[in-house]
Amino acid sequence: MMSKISPDTRTGTLVEVTPESAGWTFLSFGVLHLQAGETHAGNTGDREVALVPQEADLSVTVHGETVNGETFRLQRESVFTQLPHVLYLPPGTSYRLEAHAKSVLALGGAPAEGQLPVRLLRPDEMRVELRGGANATRQVNHILGPDLPAERLLLYEVYTPSGNWSGWPPHRHDGQLGSLYIEETYYYRVSPPHGWAVHRNYSPEDGEDELLLAQDGDLILSRRGYHPVAAAPGSNVYYLNYMAGEAQGEARRQAPVDEAAWGWMRQDWEGRVMKLPFGRSAE
């Protein structure tokens, strides 16, 4: 089963995954590409859904139990210049998108009971965190973190500078070794667009180990095990994580489990680095 899905620019849906196509239980995700003047309609069904603009100028008109025709504007110049406004839609909500300019929009969801209303989440509500250190420094934006209301969904935007690593120490949340079970998608954007990253999915217990090239617009699934990322020198890497699993509400706070061989690096981000030159004077 493929863990990487590359964009198809011939259609309005650039990438898409369902629980059935992913071989998991909870999470769905897709990315829409709309030209100026185009529209798209949908319904959340039995799922809570969050809309995250990538680069966009969209109006979203929604109808549901708590709203009747209210319209929200989602605008974002680029993932590399602005934090997003995120629109949260509960189950049983119909929506209609209208693009005022060429727009790329991520949307995904998970099963929910409808405990929460429609809500526009603003950048000033989102926690911005610097994680790691040395060449494992990255920025994590909690755009729908456990401190913001959702039933199952968690959303993060992660920025990994040129030459740096993220997802380090390697960690897992697949229900093994005492971890919480959470499914996760990685939607990659890269600056410059011809840049790239390396994404590794591996689970020693299952014998799984795949090394994937992540380029601008690629979607990679993390089904099990550990999943670190390295940005190539000269490539600044963004990825959008949609996550959902067995935990609901406050229980979404449970931390993942680090790989035992690398957990020590939380106390030494330099990583016992080799000093250069080695062996003789440099020329």
pLDDT above 90 for 183: yes
**What integer pLDDT is reported at residue 9 of this predicted model?**
83
| Count, residues in the chain | 283
Asked, as a colleague might, if the bond just before 233 is cis with ω within 30 of 0, I would say: no
Return d(Cα 269, Cα 272) in angstroms, integer. Answer: 8
Mean pLDDT calculated for residue range 256-269: 96
The mean-pLDDT minimum among 107-111, 136-140, 253-257 falls in 253-257
98-110 pLDDT per residue, tens:
999 999 999 999 9
pLDDT above 80 for 69: yes
Return d(Cα 276, Cα 282) in angstroms, integer. Answer: 8
70-127 pLDDT per residue, tens:
999 999 999 999 999 999 999 999 999 999 999 999 999 999 999 999 999 999 999 9
211-233 pLDDT per residue, tens:
999 999 999 999 999 999 999 99
Q: What are the E-state strand segments in 100-181?
A: 103-111, 119-121, 127-131, 138-144, 154-160, 165-166, 171-172
Q: Using alpha carbons, list the distances in angstroms from residue 127 to 122, 130, 140, 155, 245.
A: 11, 10, 8, 12, 22
pLDDT above 80 for 1: no
pLDDT-based confidence at residue 251 (cuts at 50, 70, 90): confident
Mean pLDDT calculated for residue range 173-187: 96
Which of these, 210, 165, 190, 154, lies nearest to 7 by C-alpha position?
A: 190
**Alpha-carbon dihedral 245, 251, 252, 255, rounded to 10 degrees:** -110
Contact (CB, 8 A) for 252 and 154: yes
**What integer pLDDT is reported at residue 239 of this predicted model?**
98
For 20, residues 6+ apart whose C-beta sits below 8 A from its C-beta are none
pLDDT above 80 for 178: yes
**What integer pLDDT is reported at residue 14 of this predicted model?**
94
Return d(Cα 49, Cα 150) in angstroms, integer. Answer: 10
Mean pLDDT calculated for residue range 142-148: 93
Q: Cα 126 to the chain's mean position, in Å?
A: 15
223-254 exposure pattern, b = at least 16 Cβ within 10 A, e = fewer: bbbbbbbbbbeebbbbbbbbbbbebbeeebee
This prediction's pTM: 0.96
Residue owning tokens 């020693």? 204
The residue type found at 133 is G
Mean pLDDT of the chain: 95
Mean pLDDT calculated for residue range 240-264: 94
**What integer pLDDT is reported at residue 282 of this predicted model?**
64
pLDDT above 80 for 281: no
Q: Which domains does the chain have, with CATH numbers?
A: 11-267 (2.60.120.10)
